[in-house]
């Protein structure tokens, strides 16, 4: 019986060994394709936005949600912007690798020695408007002379200031917050507004479009391209592949968002809820539609900063004395294909 027992033990042991080997081999086979895929592990990167989550940034949220950044080898973190957050500072301090900035902002900081590089241009034109109530009788820029005009502080006031300078008028500048109530209650005569945002907020506060006089800055020659993707020069030099992947993924995200607006809105609203900011789907839908108008104005130029726009903004700002000089287009922008 003892012999038998011993044999039996040995048999069991043998069986266990075999099982172990089989398991090992199984793992080896299974992990083969996995290890080859993750041969280059995902690079960590972060993007800081200009404002809190909304459809203005739908492309990035969609690209992240749909795994487009991951497909381009990037493990991206999106840092939300908002009042009091400076994307330039975040770039400089290394809190973020990429930032959404206006061209005017980037210009200003570049002149101040911050080596910002434009890697993609999303909004191809100015979407800023100056809006007054028809009852105020203000119809033209000249009518605004001496009137109370609400302006956002900082770089966002550059285009309207430039416009007022061009017309040689002086307005009573009132700093404007991120609500439209000051204008609605009559605290100011003219308000600054983004076509994709405040203009629609006004409409959804019960003001009809035909009760308003609207002036697009773009139509007044203020051809300031707005949202662009920026990074520091050193980031480009250190890892051009990362920058390339980031740009491609971001643009792909935008294309997906425009092609699937409902899904894109779901993703944006989800992010807004997470950030605990008021989420109004109707408003976000409007914003996404306007983003499409502003971004895809010229299909061939999708995602690129046009040299003529660049030069125009540079000249305007130099003439205004905001900057003494500006770098040439090739230095300021970086395109992976241009480098190759």
Contacting residue, 16, 31, 112, 181, with other proteins by CB under 8 A: 181
The number of beta carbons lying within 10 Å of the beta carbon of residue 112 is 10
Q: Is 307 in the site for other proteins (CB under 8 A)?
A: no
Contacting residue, 33, 41, 84, 168, with other proteins by CB under 8 A: 84
Instruction: Pick out residues in 227-286 that bind other proteins (CB under 8 A).
Output: 278-283, 285
* Burial track 198-208 (b if 16+ CB lie within 10 A, e otherwise): bbbbbeeeebe
- Looking at the Cβ atoms of 86 and 92, the one nearer to other proteins is 86
The number of beta carbons lying within 10 Å of the beta carbon of residue 89 is 14
Q: Any residues with CB less than 8 A from the CB of 89 and at least 6 apart, and which?
A: 95
Q: Is 148 in the site for other proteins (CB under 8 A)?
A: yes
> Taking the complex as a whole, how short is the minimal distance between the CB of residue 242 and other proteins, in angstroms?
31
Q: Is 203 in the site for other proteins (CB under 8 A)?
A: yes
> Taking the complex as a whole, how short is the minimal distance between the CB of residue 158 and other proteins, in angstroms?
19
> Taking the complex as a whole, how short is the minimal distance between the CB of residue 325 and other proteins, in angstroms?
33
Contacting residue, 106, 156, 188, 323, with other proteins by CB under 8 A: 188
Question: By CB under 8 A, which span of 31-39, 185-193, 224-232, 328-336 interacts with other proteins?
Answer: 185-193
Contacting residue, 3, 33, 40, 185, with other proteins by CB under 8 A: 185
> Taking the complex as a whole, how short is the minimal distance between the CB of residue 185 and other proteins, in angstroms?
5
Question: By CB under 8 A, which span of 81-89, 105-113, 118-126, 191-199 interacts with other proteins?
Answer: 81-89
d(CA 107, CA 112) in angstroms, rounded, equals 9
Q: Is 135 in the site for other proteins (CB under 8 A)?
A: no
Contacting residue, 187, 237, 259, 320, with other proteins by CB under 8 A: 187
> Taking the complex as a whole, how short is the minimal distance between the CB of residue 214 and other proteins, in angstroms?
18
User: Sign of dihedral through CA atoms 278, 97, 60, 313?
Assistant: positive
Of how many residues is the chain composed? 340
Q: Is 89 in the site for other proteins (CB under 8 A)?
A: no
- Looking at the Cβ atoms of 41 and 206, the one nearer to other proteins is 206
Sheet holding 228-232, edge to edge: 74-79, 43-48, 98-101, 228-232, 116-121
Q: Maximum distance among all alpha carbons in the chain?
A: 112
Q: What are the C-alpha distances in Å from 149 to residues 74, 145, 206? A: 44, 9, 21
Residues 94, 234 contacting (CB under 8 angstroms)? no
Q: How many residues bind other proteins (CB under 8 A)?
A: 29
Instruction: Pick out residues in 151-180 that bind other proteins (CB under 8 A).
Output: 174-177, 179
Q: What are the C-alpha distances in Å from 35 to residues 32, 68, 69, 265? A: 5, 20, 20, 36
d(CA 93, CA 126) in angstroms, rounded, equals 29
- Looking at the Cβ atoms of 272 and 291, the one nearer to other proteins is 272
Interface ranges with other proteins (CB under 8 A): 82-85, 148, 174-177, 179, 181-182, 184-188, 203-206, 208, 278-283, 285
């Amino acid at each position: 019986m003892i012999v038998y027992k011993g044999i039996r033990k040995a048999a069991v042991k043998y069986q266990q060994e075999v099982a172990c080997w089989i398991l090992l081999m199984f793992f080896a086979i299974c992990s083969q394709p996995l290890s080859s895929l993750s041969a280059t592990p995902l690079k960590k990167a972060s993007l800081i936005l200009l404002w809190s989550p909304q459809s203005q940034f739908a492309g990035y949220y969609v690209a992240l949600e749909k795994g487009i950044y991951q497909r381009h080898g990037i493990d991206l973190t999106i840092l939300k912007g908002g009042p009091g957050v400076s994307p330039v500072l975040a770039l400089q301090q290394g809190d973020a690798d990429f930032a959404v900035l206006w061209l005017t902002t980037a210009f200003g900081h570049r002149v101040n020695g911050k080596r910002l590089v434009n890697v993609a241009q999303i909004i191809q034109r100015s979407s800023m408007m100056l809006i007054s109530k028809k009852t105020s009788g203000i119809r033209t820029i000249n009518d605004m002379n001496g009137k109370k005009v609400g302006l956002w502080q900082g770089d966002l006031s550059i285009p309207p200031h430039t416009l007022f300078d061009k017309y040689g008028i002086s307005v009573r500048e009132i700093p404007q917050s991120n609500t439209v109530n000051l204008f609605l209650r009559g605290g100011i005569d003219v308000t600054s507004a983004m076509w994709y945002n405040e203009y629609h907020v006004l409409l959804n506060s019960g003001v009809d479009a035909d009760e308003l006089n609207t002036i697009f800055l773009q139509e007044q020659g203020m051809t300031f391209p707005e949202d662009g993707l920026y990074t520091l020069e050193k980031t480009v030099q250190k890892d051009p592949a990362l920058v390339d992947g980031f740009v491609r993924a971001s643009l792909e995200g935008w294309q997906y968002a425009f092609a699937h607006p409902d899904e894109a809105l779901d993703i944006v609203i989800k992010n807004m809820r997470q950030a605990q900011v008021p989420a109004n789907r109707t408003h976000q839908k409007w914003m996404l539609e306007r983003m499409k108008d502003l971004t895809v104005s010229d299909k061939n130029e999708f995602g690129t900063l046009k040299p003529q726009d660049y030069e125009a903004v540079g000249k305007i700002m130099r003439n205004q004395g905001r900057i003494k000089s500006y770098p040439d287009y090739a230095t300021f922008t970086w395109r992976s294909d241009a480098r190759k």
